Structure 1
Amino acid sequence: SGWKDEPLQVVYRNKRSELYAEDLRDMEDEQQNEYIREFTRQDKQRGFDLAQDALMRVAVLRTGEETYRFVWSFHHIVMDGWCLSLVTSEVFASYFAILAHKQPELAPVTPYSQYIEWLEQQDRQAASSYWSKVLEGYEEQSRLPQAKIQGKAGYQAERLDFDLGAELTAGIQRIAKRYQVTINTLMQTVWGLLLQKYNGTDDVVFGSVVSGRPADIPNVEHIIGLFINTIPVRIHSHKDSLFSDVMKQTQEQSIDSHV
């Protein structure tokens, strides 16, 4: 209660994690699949109570003599996508060591508290005035066409895969190289200009997710935790702007925003 609105990282000395095991070998294949689908759906629906739950839980569902389905759920506040490979390689390194009757040997851990300390040292005033300047004079809202005409049922989630093909990919890489910008900058510029056309304007802002891991923290790429951040990207052009100029502006904005 003495901390008021100050966000805190609480580290438990001991915290029981949740492990659930179930044997499904009595079921037929189709019944097993249906059971696992329903189990996963309910697990997602259950979510996490940040105030009291362990923010990670594991279920092992046995499907055969030597086959298991592993369901691993965690709250995003615990870690970002970058951490997935770190955690899985740690788990498997320990697993194989135990199988070989050896003591698992894990590399020393850099605690997330080092990132919190780094955050505390940042100049908030400088950051605030930087972003105010980036967004200065921007009043409108960038929308997608038809986004307002939403059916009563809401949106239908769907995944669409699209292949750019070797030729177009090579062309994109050539342009990025010629103007010394990243592929990310090129794509963001294209998306910005497309949004401009949709909105009948020469100035748009959209969010871009960045990894948020500061290079000045030693070993930052091995820290487990949530670092991602969504920052505004502003694409501003004039009727006689060249695409390459808009792209260079976007690249400069990207570099400045990371400093």
Structure 2
Amino acid sequence: MRRDDHFAQDHIITTGRPVTEESSCHMVYQLELSAGQKSVWVAQQLNPSDRSLNIAGYGAIAGAIDSAHFEAALRTVLSEVEALRARFELTGEGLHQVISESLDWSLRQLDFSASADPLAEAEQWMRTDAALEFDMANGPLFRWALIRVEPELYLWYQAMHHIIVDGFGLSLITSRVADVYTDLAAGDPVRECPPTSLAQVIDEHTRYAAGPDFAADREFWLARLPGKPRVASLATRVSSDTSAFIRESSRITPADVDRLRAVARRLRVPWYGVVIAAVAVYLNRVTGLRDIVLGLPVAARPSPVARRTPAMLTNVAPMCLTVDPALDFDAMVVAAAAELMVAHERQRYPYELIIHELSGLPDGRRQLGPEVNVIAFNTSLTFGGFPSTPYNLSAGPVEDMSINIYDRPDQSGMLIEFDGNAGLYRPEELRSHLDRFVDLLRASA
């Protein structure tokens, strides 16, 4: 999601118990916003025409989906997930998210199976829809569609405004729909939803923002980040527009992944520490910079209930790495693993506040290099026994470059995506960087 020092003053959260009120249609209650939600809100207000705050993707389900059961599963999840029933109100009393207890909604169903190229036409429809505006004041702030492309191939399309959910939250929603559909298709009782509470999650963030951990994290980051020279960017041009991005992707074979994991096991570090170390080494080789600061998207969910509750809570934690060409790659991996621990321990302090307080650093550009987004949650699901393959259409704004790492449990290897700001990178430049990085990663194993 977008990170900008303009948002800094909006990130001290104040909230309390939900306030219930009677509307003409439904009972509703109000909640304050998380820090991440306020950031998204301000970003959208600064640029109302920006659609990069829409996140979208689809799951390709290899089987004959029962549309009635599928819609019933979605309705069940819609009744459980408060974030899906949210809209946003700015009044004289401030900005609130208003949660309806119910929502008038029906599943959109499309059939492209008779088209000349059903999958291509379906993808074009989804990309067009993903660029449509959401009405934040009235909602709903999500769109779902079930698309038939073959008798035994369906696409479940999801588009949501980033203000209601992040990638982690979206994975919770998707997993729950898969479980409910599976139960309905089998004629079994629907398994219970694990307890969730958006109000409790917001309250946790409020107490953090008012407590000693917040102050300690602030001092830690302000002491750690000054003195870094230039941002390690691979771009050769300048752009402030984050509304469009280009994507290049590559896949690491299962054999290569096994070798990377072997390095991690030998050094007793998480497997993605190897990938992050390779990113830092690549940036050093291309830019010549020794001090590299990467952005690490983090869930910012310290409690069990937060880890069960779909919401927009994500943050970006800085990762400060010094690349010494005299050291071997193993040493770089160990250093990256240590920084991962720091980033996770201090992951709740809003990155926007760091940028606000360090905005006097040289050249006025972003304070982080590329973001490295490790997709560690399960993205391979089954719907009534039918396997689903996920495809990401848009994960939010790309200020410079986002490197997305998917280590899928289906033995298909590791998928690596380079998303580049379209104003900074040409497709051939992005492809060249990706190919060279993959070569480096393979050589590191």
Which range, TM-score by smaller chain?
0.7 to 0.9
Task: State the AA in 2 paired with 1:148.
Answer: R
Deviates more, 1:236-245 or 1:130-139: 236-245
Within the candidate set 246, 249, 269, 1:157 is matched to: 246
The answer to whether the aligner puts 1:141 opposite 2:231 as a matched pair is yes
| Aligned match of 2:270 | 182
Q: How does 1:215-234 map to 2 (within 5 A)?
A: 217-234=303-320
Other-structure match for 1:129: 219
The reply to whether residue 116 of structure 1 matches residue 202 of structure 2 is: yes
Flag the 1:30–1:142 CA change in 2: closer, same or farther, 3 A: same
* Cα separation, 2, equivalents of 1:134 and 1:31: 53
Query: Aligned partners of 1:41, 1:28: CA distance in 2, in Å?
Result: 20
The higher-RCO structure (CA 8 Å, 6+ apart) is: 2
Q: What is the 5 A alignment of 1:50-89?
A: 50-60=136-146, 70-89=156-175
Q: Cα gap change, 1:137/1:92 in structure 2, threshold over 3 Å: closer, same or farther?
A: closer
Partner of 1:42: 128
Measured after TM superposition, the shift of residue 170 of structure 1 is 4.3
2:279 equivalent in structure 1: 191
Per the normalisation by structure 2, the TM-score is 0.47
Give the percent of matched residue pairs that are identical in Structure 1 and Structure 2: 22
Indicate the structure (1 or 2) with the bigger Cα radius of gyration: 1
In structure 2, the CA distance between the partners of 1:101 and 1:184, relative to structure 1 (3 Å rule), is closer
Q: CA deviation at 1:138?
A: 0.9
CA distance in 1, matches of 2:251, 2:118: 33
When residues 3 and 232 of structure 1 are mapped into structure 2, their CA distance, relative to the original with a 3 A threshold, is farther
> How far off its partner does 1:191 sit?
1.3
Contact 2:229–2:291 (CA<8 Å) still a contact in 1?
no
Indicate conservation of the 8 Å contact 2:197/2:305, yes or no.
Answer: no
* Deviation at residue 183 of structure 1 after TM alignment: 1.9
Measured after TM superposition, the shift of residue 142 of structure 1 is: 0.8
* 1:205 aligned residue (288, 293, 297): 293
The Cα of 1:137 is off from its aligned counterpart by: 0.7
Once structures 1 and 2 are overlaid, which stretch shifts more, 70-79 or 129-138?
70-79
Quote the RMSD (CA, aligned, Å). 3.6
Q: Which structure has the highest strand share of the two? A: 2
Change (3 A) 1:185 1:2: same
Closer, same or farther in 2 for the Cα pair 1:2/1:130, shift >3 Å? farther
Aligned equivalents of 2:257 and 2:153: distance in 1?
40
> How far apart are the structure 2 equivalents of 1:169 and 1:65?
34
Task: Provide structure 1 residue ranges, at least 5 long, that are not aligned to the other structure.
Answer: none
Aligned residues: 247
Q: Is the 8 A contact 2:260 2:271 kept in 1?
A: yes
